[in-house]
């Protein structure tokens, strides 16, 4: 049997650390680079802007220790108690802010999911609708660069919920994740398909390559699923997040596949979204009727958490969409620094 060497995107390698964006993220970067404890004012985390660049970069860096880590940073730092204490403070700020913003959100699954099951008549505020009808290639490239921080780890944080489920919910969750991870074929892993999309668009497909360009609005969407995934107490929230993603994916993916085709972005770029149109329509049914319903049968007291996970996902996605739309309407990049021309 002849062994095949992995491509650069398939190889397991850690991304490089980026520079901080304030007191908290500077402290995390310094601690990771030097192997020391993070030094920061005791009140810095407790008073940090819960939506700001500093907090969300610091939180992203701390969460990344549970994924691929960073080049030159010891794997032992994953469970460093000083880093975990800081992470807890940042998480509390983020979660408290979400709960405050969503104080009036529905606390039942039916009410939380109902608006997602019907395609809006007015799509004028939809980012995928804009890209389908009027988006330029440079906007598709920016969108892909932003989304790479999510899609290159797309299904990973959701796996943390599997050992916390039983019966129907566990079986259906694993069935959906099996598809997300390529159904046994490494070239079909959805993260790998997204890497191919990035190559079509002239982007760097390396894991984490656009972290330094990602604004807080994007980092918050990725931090949310890590927050929910790493805490057993938030397992209901993670299921709500997962269900929300699967329910809303198919219509948006259909529009984005058309956008890639209209802009001649490339076969792999179009295929990534075309793949999600049919697959996620099937996943939606499994998630709603087996994962969510199964979890509610086992633990009915988690209904409010499932609804909150859905509401938090919608809220942060809307914030990100508003950020991107405002930037593009003003004729500027939605990234912290624009991409180089190709």
CATH number of the CATH domain containing 242 = 1.20.910.10
- Give domain status of residue 334, yes or no: no
Q: Are 271 and 293 within one domain?
A: yes
Domain boundary among 53, 69, 101: 101
Using CA atoms of 95, 99, 102, 108 in order, give the dihedral in degrees to the nearest 10. Answer: 100
Q: Are 38 and 128 within one domain?
A: no
Compute mean pLDDT per 10 residues along the chain, 342 residues long, and list them.
39 86 96 92 85 98 97 96 95 97 96 85 73 94 97 92 97 93 91 96 96 98 98 98 90 92 94 80 84 97 98 97 96 96 78
What is the structure's pLDDT at 10?
Answer: 44
Instruction: Provide the domain count of the chain.
Output: 2
The sign of the dihedral angle between the CA atoms of 294, 298, 302, 305 is negative
Place of tokens 């508003």: 322
- Give domain status of residue 9, yes or no: no
Domain boundary among 34, 69, 101: 101
Closest CA to 209 of 7, 12, 18, 20: 18
Range of the domain at 222: 109-329
What is the structure's pLDDT at 6?
Answer: 43
- Give domain status of residue 71, yes or no: yes
Q: Are 152 and 223 within one domain?
A: yes
- Give domain status of residue 244, yes or no: yes
Give phi and psi for 190, each to the nearest 5: -60, -35
Closest CA to 313 of 197, 205, 157, 162: 157
């Amino acid at each position: 049997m002849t062994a095949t060497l992995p491509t650069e995107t398939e190889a397991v390698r850690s991304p490089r650390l980026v520079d901080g964006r304030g007191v908290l993220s500077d402290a995390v970067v310094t601690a990771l680079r030097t192997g020391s404890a993070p030094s920061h004012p005791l009140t810095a985390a407790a008073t940090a802007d819960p939506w700001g660049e500093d907090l969300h970069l610091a939180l992203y860096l701390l969460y990344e220790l549970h994924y691929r880590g960073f080049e030159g940073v010891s794997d032992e730092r994953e469970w460093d108690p000083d880093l975990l204490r800081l992470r807890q403070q940042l998480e509390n700020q983020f979660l408290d802010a979400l709960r405050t913003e969503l104080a009036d959100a529905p606390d039942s699954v039916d009410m939380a999911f109902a608006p997602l099951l019907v395609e809006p008549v007015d799509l004028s505020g939809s980012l995928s609708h804009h890209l389908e009808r009027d988006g330029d290639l440079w906007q598709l490239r920016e969108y892909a660069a932003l989304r790479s921080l999510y899609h290159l780890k797309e299904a990973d944080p959701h796996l943390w919920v599997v050992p916390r489920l039983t019966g129907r919910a566990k079986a259906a969750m694993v069935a959906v994740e099996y598809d997300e991870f390529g159904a046994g074929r490494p070239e079909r892993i959805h993260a790998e398909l997204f890497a191919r999309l990035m190559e079509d668009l002239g982007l760097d497909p390396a894991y984490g390559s656009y972290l330094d360009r990602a604004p807080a609005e994007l980092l918050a969407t990725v931090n949310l699923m890590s927050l929910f995934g790493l805490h057993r107490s938030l397992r209901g929230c993670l299921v709500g997040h997962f269900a929300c993603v699967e329910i809303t994916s198919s219509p948006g993916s259909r529009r984005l596949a058309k956008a890639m085709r209209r802009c001649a972005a490339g076969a792999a770029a179009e295929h990534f979204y075309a793949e999600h149109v049919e697959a996620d329509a099937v996943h939606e049914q499994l998630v709603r009727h087996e994962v969510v319903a199964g979890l509610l049968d086992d633990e009915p007291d988690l209904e409010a958490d499932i609804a909150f996970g859905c509401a938090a996902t919608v809220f942060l996605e809307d914030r990100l969409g508003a950020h991107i739309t405002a930037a593009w309407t003003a004729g500027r990049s939605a990234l912290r620094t624009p991409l180089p021309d190709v």
